[in-house]
Amino acid sequence: MSNALIPRDVIHAWSEQIAEQIADEQVSLQRVLRDQRRLTRFVQKNQEHMAPATVGVSMYMTGVIARMFDMAGGRLKSATHAQVNEAATKVQQLLGQVLPLDDGFAERFRSVPRAQAHILDEAYMALMSEPEGEEEDLDRNEALKVLMLMWVITEVLDANWKPGKDFEGEASYTYVHIEPEQREEAGEE
C-alpha cells in the first residue's frame, strides 16, 4: 500500500528550491543517490536507450525525487533488486493504459494508480511542458522515457519510505494544476 501523498504545493516548492539552489543541494543529492545504488544502476542501465542529452536529465531527476523523500522526513531504506523489478513490471503493465503519447496522454497518466502521484505530476510538468529560458528542449519521446523511469523510481522510493510520525499527507489524489513558472532569460530585468 502506498503512503499518504506529499502535498502538491510542497512538491512544487521543493522542486523549485532544489533547482534554484543546486550548488547548495549538490551534497544532499549525491548522498541520496549514493544511498540508492540499485536505483542509480537501474537508471544507468536504461540510459543505454536514451539520447545523450537525456542521460543527464534522468540522473538529475532521480536525485531530485529521492531528495524530496529525504526532505519529507522519516526513514528511507535502500531499494532492493526485487523492488526495482517489481516496480518496473507494474509500470510496464500500466503503459497500455496511458499510451500513446498524444493529446490525451496527460489525462490517462493521471488516471492510473501511481505512488506519490504529485511527484509524478511535477516530473510530467518538468519534462513535457514547453521549455522556457535556458532549459534544454527534450524530444517528447525522450522525455517520455525519462518520465517512465521516474515512475519506477517513485514507486520504489515510496515502498521504501516510512514517513515520520509528524508527517501530514493527503489520503487521496486529486490533480492540482500548477503553471510552469516563466523563467527570465539572461539579460532581461
For cell 525525487, the residue is 65
Find out whether 147 and 101 touch, Cβ atoms under 8 Å: no
Helix axes 37-46, 81-98, angle to 10 degrees: 50
Tell me the helix, strand and coil percentages in the chain, rounded to 5.
Answer: 60, 5, 35
Q: Which residues pair with 175 in a beta bridge?
A: none
Per-residue pLDDT tens, the chain, 189 aa: give them. 579 999 999 999 999 999 999 888 989 999 999 999 999 999 999 998 898 888 889 999 999 999 999 999 999 999 999 999 999 999 999 999 999 999 999 999 999 999 999 999 999 999 988 655 445 567 899 999 999 999 999 999 999 999 999 999 999 999 999 987 654 444 444
d(CA 14, CA 11): 5
CB atoms within 10 A of CB 97: 11
